[in-house]
């Protein structure tokens, strides 16, 4: 092969390699793109029921599960959780973002999981681009949304009597002006109703303002048969079925 032809061939190979690397980078970046944030709060009594954990005196108020970018997880595995960076937030974290699953000595395990899975993705936004900002903003949103007070003011409180899922949906939509997502534990065999476990309120990526979690036309509930079929596969939380729902009052301490 003539030298100039060999050079052109080599140049062509290099260009092809660079194009492939560029495409791979774009693909990798696209997998971490997200459009909205989800402020997730859960009901401690239901969490304890779901995991069958011997919870001791779970809080009698809604607590933070996490602040999640949609469709994006574990964006930067080289950015480890560092408890020292949020030491000023620990009193609030222990109160409003408790670990309901692991024993007290390991309570930071939950926060570590939330940072590595969700916080490293939320960090695309300037106001969330450090651990202190991510956890601090989450706490601020929790206080601002004030889900506990909203439900109480609307007369929705833990009870041995059943509510209807629409009681939650209509009340929250009326107060917040957006469509939330409400998740339940399916009923066990012999139980009459699902159990409310988690409420998601969605926010815009740019300025963290409330927005619909779903559009009205996307909220058509599955048929009962389909819903129960999925529930039979696992008893994890899922979007509530249209129907009665149990909002369990905290059990008395076992101590």
Cα–Cα distance for residue pair 65/93, rounded to 1 Å: 11
What does the alpha-carbon distance between residue 234 and residue 253 come to, in Å, rounded to a whole number? 28
Task: For the chain, report the end-to-end CA distance as a whole number of angstroms.
Answer: 86
DSSP letters of 22-41? HHHHHHHHHTT---EEEEEE
Contact yes or no for 90/71 (Cβ under 8 A) = no
Q: CA-CA distances (angstroms) from residue 222 to 60, 74, 212, 226? A: 31, 30, 19, 6
Which residues are tagged catalytic? 65, 114, 118
Which residue, chain included where needed, has tokens 């607590």? 63
CA gap 160, 192 in Å, rounded: 12
85 contacts 131 by C-beta, under 8 angstroms: yes
């Amino acid at each position: 092969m003539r030298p100039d032809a060999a050079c052109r061939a080599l140049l062509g190979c290099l260009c092809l390699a660079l194009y492939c690397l560029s495409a791979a980078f774009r693909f990798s970046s696209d997998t971490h793109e997200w459009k909205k944030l989800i402020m997730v709060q859960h009901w401690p009594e239901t969490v304890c029921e779901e995991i069958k954990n011997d919870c001791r005196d779970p809080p009698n108020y809604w607590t933070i599960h996490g602040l999640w970018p949609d469709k994006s997880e574990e964006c930067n595995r080289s950015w480890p959780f560092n408890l020292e960076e949020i030491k000023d937030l620990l009193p609030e974290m222990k109160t409003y973002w408790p670990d309901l699953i692991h024993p007290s000595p390991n309570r930071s395990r939950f926060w570590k999981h939330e940072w590595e899975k969700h916080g490293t993705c939320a960090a695309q936004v300037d106001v969330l681009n450090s651990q202190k900002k991510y956890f601090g903003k989450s706490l601020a949103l929790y206080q601002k949304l004030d889900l506990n007070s909203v439900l109480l003011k609307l007369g929705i409180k833990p009870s041995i009597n059943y509510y209807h899922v629409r009681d939650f949906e209509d009340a929250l939509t009326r107060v917040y002006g957006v469509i939330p997502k409400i998740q339940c534990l399916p009923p066990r065999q012999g139980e009459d109703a699902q159990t409310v476990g988690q409420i998601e309120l969605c926010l815009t990526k740019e300025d963290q303002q409330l927005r619909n979690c779903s559009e009205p036309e996307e909220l058509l509930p599955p048929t009962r048969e389909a819903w129960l079929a999925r529930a039979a596969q696992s008893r994890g939380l899922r979007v509530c079925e249209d129907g009665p729902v149990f909002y369990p009052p905290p059990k008395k301490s076992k101590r």
